[in-house]
């Protein structure tokens, strides 16, 4: 999975995402930016209006390269670092027209990805000192899955499968259609021998016993109450990687982590995101 986030892959993903963003925002041209002299240059500052974990640099740089080539970027807060309220996180110097065209796209990427990283970091902090990792899901914004999964990593979380193509997650409907837990695991071994992992979801302790007997190496404990989770960890005795899913809140997270599970997956990291408030302010403009 690391190959998905190599420097080259990130740059390519960011270019593709930025191109789509400009296609829907700029279309045939930025009519308002045309009010600015073509040779005007400007210095702009991007400020965070609230504390955050900064994330999205590859996407910001890609957007600037496409809309405002020749812009100089001076990051005041590094990727994955925390900023304070009203702190300047980035100073830009470049063509005024291009910076104005890029402004909303740059801020959109920065506000979304910093929000995901910030939320993830708060969950990671809540389980600090336990063995539990915080894991994302496929509940992402259409077209921005890789960007959001990158942001989860930036916030200290762990990526689950990227999509349906790289790993197997056997859920209740798969189990029912396949004819049971054991049959589903056997079918997965035959149908997807190259999967990065095979995980099966169980809803009862009886299903957990059956999954372990069938050789399951990763088990998702779905919507179990606390006493059942504790018993599941005891039964498992370290044989499979155990993950909790369903109904996880920040308030109850520590208690879940202290059961001894290995992973806690949370769709809200990428699905229920409140954007971080950023603004761009021009400080000067002059003829070239």
- Active-site residue, selected from the candidate residues 16, 166, 203, 222: 222
- Active-site residue, selected from the candidate residues 171, 186, 254, 271: 171
Neighbours of 97 (CB within 10 A): 22
Strands (E), the chain: 40-48, 52-53, 72-75, 82-83, 87-95, 133-135, 168-170, 198-202, 218-222, 241-245, 263-265, 278-287
Residue given tokens 């041209």 in the structure block: 29
- Whether 274 is catalytic is no
- Whether 201 is catalytic is yes
Q: What span, in angstroms and rounded, lies between the C-alpha atoms of 113 and 53? A: 9
Neighbours of 198 (CB within 10 A): 20
Q: What span, in angstroms and rounded, lies between the C-alpha atoms of 115 and 274? A: 6
Nearest to 273 by CA among 153, 148, 163, 92: 148
Q: Indicate the SS3 state at residue 45.
A: strand
Angle between helices 96-126 and 145-154 (to 10 degrees): 60
- Whether 222 is catalytic is yes
Neighbours of 60 (CB within 10 A): 27
User: What is the secondary structure of 173-229 as a DSSP string?
Assistant: HHHHHHTSHHHHHHHHHHH-TT-S-EEEEESSHHHHHHHHHTT-SEEEEES--HHHH
Q: What span, in angstroms and rounded, lies between the C-alpha atoms of 172 and 197? A: 18
- Whether 104 is catalytic is yes
Q: What angle do CA 181, 247, 165 make, to 5 degrees?
A: 50
Neighbours of 108 (CB within 10 A): 17
Catalytic residues: 104, 139, 171, 201, 222
């Amino acid at each position: 999975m690391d190959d998905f986030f190599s420097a080259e892959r990130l740059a390519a993903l960011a270019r593709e995402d930025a191109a789509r963003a400009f296609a829907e925002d700029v279309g045939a041209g930025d009519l308002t930016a045309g009010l600015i002299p073509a040779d005007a240059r400007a210095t702009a500052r991007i400020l965070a209006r609230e504390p955050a974990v900064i994330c999205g640099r590859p996407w910001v740089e890609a957007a600037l390269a496409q809309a405002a080539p020749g812009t100089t970027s001076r990051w005041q807060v590094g990727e994955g670092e925390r900023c304070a309220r009203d702190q300047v996180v980035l100073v830009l110097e470049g063509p005024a027209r291009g910076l104005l065209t890029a402004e909303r796209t740059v801020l959109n990427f920065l506000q979304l990805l910093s929000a995901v990283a910030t939320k993830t970091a708060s969950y990671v902090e809540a389980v600090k000192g336990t063995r539990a990792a915080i894991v994302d899901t496929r509940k992402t914004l259409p077209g921005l899955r890789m960007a959001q999964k990158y942001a989860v990593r930036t916030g200290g979380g762990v990526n689950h499968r990227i999509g349906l193509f790289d790993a197997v997650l056997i859920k209740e409907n798969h189990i029912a259609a396949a004819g049971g837990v054991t049959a589903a695991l056997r079918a997965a071994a035959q149908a997807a021998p190259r999967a990065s992992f095979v995980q099966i979801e169980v809803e009862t302790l009886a299903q957990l016993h059956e999954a372990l007997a069938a050789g399951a190496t990763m088990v998702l404990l779905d919507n179990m109450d606390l006493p059942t989770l504790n018993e599941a960890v005891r039964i498992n005795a370290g044989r499979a990687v155990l993950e909790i899913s369903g109904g996880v809140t920040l308030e109850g997270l520590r208690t879940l982590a202290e059961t001894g599970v290995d992973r806690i997956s949370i769709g809200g990291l990428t699905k229920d995101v409140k954007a971080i408030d950023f603004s761009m302010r021009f400080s000067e403009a002059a003829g070239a």
